[in-house]
């Protein structure tokens, strides 16, 4: 694992970026989970998004990039749950 | 600018992650721009998201991380436009 020489200030910038994008993601995911309504969600786009986050986390691990690992692992949890609910809704028999 | 020692394969993984999350972002932004309807968008969340992307791009620059720079600069364009439309809609007199 290659750990780049990054100053604490720059690393702090990374964690701030991680905080903002992760924070901005949660309300939408929580709203979807509470309402159970995934009709507005495109399975294809959400699948791409969730796969992308997983890859970013793996990439962060290989580059030894803390903010990348934290931001994407944290976001992966609600993203994965919403994706799973979307899949469930597509499998459920139409009433 | 600290350029970490990262193998081409790992860098490729980063660009793939960048492609997936950037791809997954565009349709929603395009849909919003075409419809001009930003009512479903929370100004606070979108502001956080856009600020986060900008910080990720700056962070990518300081850590010499190509995928981070590309993914976030590319995403910043539609995100900035949608944010600007949202601000406009809030300033427009209510009919």
| Low-confidence residues of chain B: pLDDT under 50 | none
- The percentage of residues in chain A with a pLDDT greater than 70, rounded to a whole number, is 94
How far apart are the C-alpha atoms of A30 and A6, rounded to whole Å?
34
Evaluate whether the domain defined by A8-91 bears CATH number 1.20.1280.290.
yes
pLDDT at A2: 52
pLDDT at B33: 85
pLDDT at A1: 54
Any A CB within 8 A of B1 CB: no
With an 8 Å Cβ cutoff, are A21 and B67 in contact? no
Task: Tell me which chain A residue has its CA closest to the CA of residue B2.
Answer: A5
pLDDT at B10: 93
| Low-confidence residues of chain A: pLDDT under 70 | 1-4, 94-95
Contacts of B24 in chain A (CB under 8 A): 45-46, 48-49, 52
How far apart are the C-alpha atoms of A78 and A53, rounded to whole Å?
11
Domain ranges of chain A: 8-91
Q: Looking at this predicted complex, what is its ipTM?
A: 0.84
Give chain A's mean pLDDT: 88
Contacts of B4 in chain A (CB under 8 A): 2-5, 63-64
pLDDT at B65: 94
User: Buried b / exposed e across B34-57, counting CB within 10 Å, b at 16+?
Assistant: eeeebeebeeeebbbbbbbbbbbb
């Amino acid at each position: 694992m290659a750990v780049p020489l990054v100053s604490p200030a720059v690393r702090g910038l990374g964690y701030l970026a991680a905080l903002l994008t992760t924070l901005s993601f949660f309300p939408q995911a929580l709203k979807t989970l509470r309402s159970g309504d995934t009709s507005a969600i495109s399975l294809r786009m959400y699948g791409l998004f969730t796969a992308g986050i997983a890859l970013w986390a793996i990439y962060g691990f290989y580059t030894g990039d803390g903010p990348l690992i934290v931001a994407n692992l944290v976001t992966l949890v609600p993203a994965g749950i919403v994706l799973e609910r979307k899949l469930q809704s597509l499998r459920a028999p139409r009433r």
